[in-house]
Amino acid sequence: MAAPGCAGRERLTPTYPPSADLRVEAKPVAPVEIVTSEAAADAYDIELELWGERGWATVGRVCRWAEDMGADLPPGWCGPVSR
C-alpha cells in the first residue's frame, strides 16, 4: 500500500481572466476645442461616456469570471448583466 505523500504530484495550472480584460484603457483626453465648440464638447462627452461603459462592462466580466472560479461573492455582487 502506497502512502499518499509518495504519490506523484498533479501540476496545477493557474487560471486567469481573459487578457483583454486585464488591460487598462486610458481615459480619453479632452481636446482644447471643447472650450469653443459645442460639437467638440458633445463628442468628448460621448467618448467619455462610452469609455466608462466599457470599463464597467470589463469589471462585470472579471467579476463573473471570479464567481465562475469559485469566489465567495454576495448574491448580485457582479450586477444584473446577463451571461
Predicted confidence (pLDDT) per residue in 6-15, tens digit: 667 888 787 8
Mean confidence (pLDDT) of the chain: 87
Task: Flag whether pLDDT at 22 surpasses 70.
Answer: yes
pLDDT of residue 59: 92
pTM as predicted: 0.72
Helix (H) or strand (E) holding 63: helix 38-68
**DSSP summary character for residue 69:** T
For the stretch 49-61, pLDDT in tens is 999 999 999 999 9
Domain boundaries, the chain: 18-68
Q: How far apart are CA 17 and CA 50, in angstroms?
A: 22
Of residues 51, 53, 56, the one with CA closest to residue 26: 51
Q: How many residues does the chain have?
A: 83
Q: What are phi and psi of 27, to 5 degrees?
A: -65, 135
